[in-house]
């Protein structure tokens, strides 16, 4: 589904992390671990195609869904409108925004403008958008951030269903929050070796 070999990215002429090799197939759940600023987000953005790698090859044969720190919610639109927009723009035509909102536990906030939602609710909104997306590959940047206890169980459920149904996911977490699903593989992001290329 996704194959990355010797992937690196240079910021200010210094590689952000050591070259990364990663193969993601159907049913895989990869968890990127590493200290803050080790480049987890940068690597995810590379995999999502938002950034072009300085060196290395990246081949992705399927569509990807991206949930970053910035959740792409329009503050003036309410939750339902945001989800309908997401569905019309790049979602599955048969997906129903109402059902996705209900699954993400946002039934009571449907007509609330996104600007007034709490951080946890906004993250649930982003997760609801994931449900509408046809992309088999999920790229999640610290999905557990801002989620309360049943938010975490909700996310674990979504991940289990998605991976179980043959999808794949690459996510990053900081700290000890790991998905409560067995069979996930970890990839530690190592800082770039000191010294230089030439």
The residues of the shown chain that bind other proteins, judged by CB under 8 A, are 10-14, 45, 48-53, 57-66, 68-77, 81, 85-93, 134, 139, 194-198
Cα torsion angle, 121, 126, 131, 136, sign: negative
Smallest CA-to-CA distance from 170 within 159, 181, 180, 161 is with 159
Pairing of strands 29-33, 185-188: parallel
Task: State the nearest-atom distance from the C-beta of 46 to other proteins, in Å.
Answer: 8
Task: State the nearest-atom distance from the C-beta of 135 to other proteins, in Å.
Answer: 8
Residue 72 or 187: the one with the smaller Cβ distance to other proteins is: 72
What angle, 0 to 180 degrees and rounded to 10, lies between the N-to-C axes of helices 79-90 and 119-132? 30
Q: How many residues does the chain have?
A: 198
Residue 40 or 87: the one with the smaller Cβ distance to other proteins is: 87
Task: State the nearest-atom distance from the C-beta of 108 to other proteins, in Å.
Answer: 22
How far apart CA 63 and CA 46 sit, in angstroms, is: 14
Residue 68 or 157: the one with the smaller Cβ distance to other proteins is: 68
Cβ burial 82-103 (10 Å sphere, 16+ → b, else e): bbbbbbeeebeeebebeebbeb
Task: State the nearest-atom distance from the C-beta of 153 to other proteins, in Å.
Answer: 25
Residue 6 or 150: the one with the smaller Cβ distance to other proteins is: 6
Task: State the nearest-atom distance from the C-beta of 130 to other proteins, in Å.
Answer: 11
Residue 25 or 89: the one with the smaller Cβ distance to other proteins is: 89
């Amino acid at each position: 589904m996704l194959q990355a070999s010797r992937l690196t990215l240079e910021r200010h002429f210094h590689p952000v992390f050591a070259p990364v090799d990663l193969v993601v197939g159907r049913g895989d759940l990869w968890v990127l671990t590493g200290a803050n600023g080790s480049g987890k987000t940068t690597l995810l953005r590379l995999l999502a195609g938002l950034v072009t790698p300085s060196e290395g090859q990246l081949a992705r044969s399927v569509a990807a869904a991206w949930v970053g720190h910035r959740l792409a919610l329009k503050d003036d639109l309410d939750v339902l409108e945001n989800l309908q927009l997401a569905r019309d723009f790049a979602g599955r035509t048969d997906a129903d925004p109402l059902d996705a909102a209900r699954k993400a536990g946002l039934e009571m906030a449907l007509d609330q403008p996104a600007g007034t939602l709490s951080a946890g609710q906004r993250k649930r909104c982003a997760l609801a958008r994931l449900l509408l997306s046809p992309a088999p590959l999920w790229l999640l940047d610290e999905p557990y951030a801002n989620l309360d206890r049943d938010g975490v169980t909700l996310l674990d459920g979504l991940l289990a269903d998605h991976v179980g149904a043959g999808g794949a996911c690459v996510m990053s977490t900081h700290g000890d929050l790991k998905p409560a699903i067995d069979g996930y593989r970890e990839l530690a992001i190592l800082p770039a070796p000191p010294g230089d290329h030439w």
